Structure 1
């Protein structure tokens, strides 16, 4: 079962998680970060650095509640780092867990003695072999997946939580449900690979659950755990595991390492064979388990947590060692061995031609183009190219390339647009002109830089926009100096603290409009003259037509009378 990922709604394509992941177990697909579970070592660093808190963890709290409602017994196995976050209220945790419904509450370190004794055996083994502790699941993952040749160096015993689960199953019955509660996301993955642990909750999940149920530790009665030794209670801190071993004069030198980067540096050295006759205590989290990936984000730093743990350890009862010994003897025959096998994860390797094509697509044509800036999360551009080849990364993750591409596009628009554009600073001095503006003002951008805007334009409009932050759009303005008419927009850019001036020169349009207007007036005058002339001609024609019509009438009348007279005489 896989339980962690990133929320699609919150992921902002910042690549912080990619940069933080020490093993490149995060791919970006369709501008969305995704965890590659086969490569993931479950260190939780990606979640800690995410500025949008986009982590999405599948909690098993509801399944725990389901178990608590059932007929089977449910026991809580609590990691010793609980005291680091609870401080003075540490002894009230068992009461709180029983209020949630747990039948039994046990400490995981109550059965840790057999494992530490096995570590002591390896610490006292003769020879030059180097051994690595197996407490931290993320360290085990990184060795098995990325240093598989060193898997044989891991001491072949289970983690204390797994062994405690086996003990609890034996003590309360195989059907009993064991819920481990601890500081580590890695335990979620580790626990599901072991039959002795049924479910895993982090302290962060437990804290939220207690708040949901309105359970306040300060209001509860104390019900202390069975006391363990002061030394065992410091197991969650750096050196907590090996301090007691070192005090017994082991044959091997002891190295304590915390933090993934430091762990990987030491593993690189071990791989080269430079460390010999050494026992290495490793923890993937800085400050070991008190800085675990499953700790609540309560604003308490690791130094405060360490002090809380030390105070609680000091307050433990004096006869704790005897009680621990009784528990150990009671379950001495339970197996704690484990074989750590290789889980090596290999990437497909592009040939030189394929890699060159990918690099070219990222704008890397020459060796000098390969900046190796690490902004994408990969150490080199070629490493990023291999990730692209394996569908783990996208071309546009190269920030210098995308910036250059965006700037090129912006410059093309700025230089090629027919609009007149100028950038003016808050002192109302020119900063930059585009070519159209250079042509309009009949000057160059170099010569106009730093020149007050009032030398070319009316300052009042610019001052008003800067002071009021109210932009002016499509304002018609006459520029006397250029004998021009423009339509201007004046825009205040708050983030950049500059003014953007955009204008269209409509002088020619104005002249054309005046010419067209004159032509219209001339046409009207000409039409009027033609009309007047036509009226005169019409009147003259009408007069002539009137005279000829009268004459015609007289003539026809006379002709008619003559014809009538001829008919009568006949």
Structure 2
């Protein structure tokens, strides 16, 4: 069967309310949502009632109940007396009895009689006290808590079945062992507790809460206006109807609970429940029996409609019992008590020790330091984590039930630290962004300068009368001026119109003396003033390194053109002067001023040549 209490991770908002109210440390926070630990859970349902997000729910048995009711088997309902505190919107109890019958029940019984029967067994324990104080076992959440979390007290549990099991036994005895039982209650813990008695004459097949019962009425469209009055099937109880409120069980058999005469401590609610068990275990002077409700009476159980008022419900239960007491046939009640007093109402318990190991003090102190609560004044305990003190939180952490993020102050400090780191990162990001903007601006300026320089260089190259070309290591043109393109002819000019400067063109397909460029690329040694034949022209080629083994440039002059030819004559005449200057100087040493005259004569020849060129160009 499905787990009794479950949590919906999508609805959980980590309020830790469930952790705060759980008496058995059966809830841990993992993967950012509450998780129920079924082995530790006692089924009290307090977490269900307290979760405002409705992220925790108990096992719904409506479908199983409907299947049973629609079968051909005889089905009896056992109604917890708290039903009178639930259906305050129904005018007469006989109406909700009829509404229950309308769902398909063959029998509708009131558990009050079983309470009367069980109360006599408790009276026997009180009257025949043998020195061992008992803890009542009527509340299934109490029983399960002691079995699992206070196993040393199991032998103090009264070995008496809860009233709903007693009622199941007598229904089976009177109406047949084949009768199926559906218990209608305010208690969620009963859903699992009844499973202990499967296979016995006290078996209960389904447990419905009052909330589930209301949903069935709505689903089947049953209201008090659709039914007539109906009475509970016998046997009928008397004061047992007071069971859902404190003192109700023992008032059923008039056990005196005066402060001086009584020896039974009757208490209710989570805080009193835990404290009374603790003192019962530790305080030898207590000398009292315990009658415990985990809830604030069954009238405030998790199976009741939310928002109900305790004392209003208490008043409704008392009024209901008072009316029934006036109408009941006391003689018949006594006959019924006599008939069923021989029923075996004994039970046993399971001692399952789920107590968690208590960590060492130094381990607890270490956790507190890691949480930033090393000082006593920092361990006040706000309770936001779900634990009453920081120390208890640290213990739960060492037991694997909590994580540091549950601690409010730890989370705040971590958040502050994160915010500080975030601010520091933000400042670094801003600085990086400013630096990046400056870098981008610088890059744009450099790009602009480079573009302008490139344009200037291209313009300058195009002004030169010599052809200029630059190539990369693959002999692809990086840049070429207009003069170089003109030297290559019409095909190159056509290409240049599509690809300015022949950029990317393969030099090997443009000229046949490309090996000169290859030589310079490989050797890194410049080749200057090499004359080569190209078509009908003689070209003077100089190739030099721009970036070693990667980029070289070439200056190419057509020696056939007049201007180049004249420049070349002058240049080579100067080379003659330079090459023969040493010889002239030696002759001058012998001939005195003859050398200088010779130089003047040669210079006059050059000047005459240049003057002639100027006159020709003037024409």
| Pair in the same fold by TM > 0.5 | yes
* Counterpart-to-counterpart distance in 2, 1:90 and 1:109: 14
CA gap 1:389/1:273 in 2 versus in 1, 3 angstroms: closer
Runs of 4+ in 1 over 6 A off after TM superposition: 351-361, 363-371, 535-539, 541-544, 547-550
Which structure 2 residues correspond to residues 251-270 of structure 1 after superposition, within 5 A?
Answer: 251-270=261-280
State the Cα distance separating 1:391 from its structure 2 match: 4.0
State the Cα distance separating 1:547 from its structure 2 match: 8.4
CA gap 1:544/1:193 in 2 versus in 1, 3 angstroms: closer
SS in 2 for 1:34: strand
1:216 to 2:223 alignment: yes
- Is the 1:111–1:327 Cα contact (8 Å) retained in structure 2? no
Which residue of 1 is the match for residue 309 of structure 2? 301
Which residue of 1 is the match for residue 528 of structure 2? none
Q: Say which is worse superposed, 190-199 or 349-358, in terms of deviation.
A: 349-358
State the Cα distance separating 1:519 from its structure 2 match: 5.1
State the Cα distance separating 1:4 from its structure 2 match: 2.2
Which residue of 2 is the match for residue 450 of structure 1? none
1:325 to 2:342 alignment: no
CA gap 1:542/1:151 in 2 versus in 1, 3 angstroms: closer
* Counterpart-to-counterpart distance in 1, 2:184 and 2:282: 37
Q: Which has the larger radius of gyration?
A: 2
Which structure 2 residues correspond to residues 23-422 of structure 1 after superposition, within 5 A?
Answer: 23-87=24-88, 88-125=91-128, 129-194=132-197, 195=200, 196=202, 197-225=204-232, 231-243=239-251, 245-247=254-256, 251-286=261-296, 288-297=297-306, 299-316=307-324, 318-320=326-328, 321-340=330-349, 342-348=351-357, 372-379=381-388, 383-384=392-393, 386-418=395-427
Which residue of 2 is the match for residue 531 of structure 1? 462
State the Cα distance separating 1:204 from its structure 2 match: 1.1
* Counterpart-to-counterpart distance in 2, 1:190 and 1:354: 38
CA gap 1:405/1:107 in 2 versus in 1, 3 angstroms: same
* Counterpart-to-counterpart distance in 2, 1:127 and 1:313: 34
State the Cα distance separating 1:274 from its structure 2 match: 4.6
* Counterpart-to-counterpart distance in 1, 2:15 and 2:50: 11
* Counterpart-to-counterpart distance in 1, 2:367 and 2:350: 35
Which residue of 1 is the match for residue 561 of structure 2? 545
Which residue of 1 is the match for residue 592 of structure 2? none
Which residue of 2 is the match for residue 18 of structure 1? 19
SS in 2 for 1:131: coil
- Is the 2:45–2:58 Cα contact (8 Å) retained in structure 1? no
- Is the 2:116–2:240 Cα contact (8 Å) retained in structure 1? no
Q: For residues 307-339 of structure 1, what are the alpha-carbon distances to aligned partners after superposition, in whole Å with 9 as ceiling and x for unaligned?
A: 332332333262413343232122221111224
CA gap 1:504/1:187 in 2 versus in 1, 3 angstroms: farther
State the Cα distance separating 1:41 from its structure 2 match: 1.8
* Counterpart-to-counterpart distance in 1, 2:70 and 2:237: 35
Which structure 2 residues correspond to residues 462-477 of structure 1 after superposition, within 5 A?
Answer: none
* Counterpart-to-counterpart distance in 2, 1:240 and 1:396: 44
SS in 1 for 2:266: strand
- Is the 1:111–1:324 Cα contact (8 Å) retained in structure 2? no
CA gap 1:90/1:359 in 2 versus in 1, 3 angstroms: same
CA gap 1:205/1:504 in 2 versus in 1, 3 angstroms: farther
Counting matched residue pairs gives: 469
* Counterpart-to-counterpart distance in 2, 1:10 and 1:248: 46
Structure 2 unaligned segments of length 5 or more: list them: 468-481, 487-556, 567-619
SS in 1 for 2:108: strand
* Counterpart-to-counterpart distance in 2, 1:310 and 1:353: 54
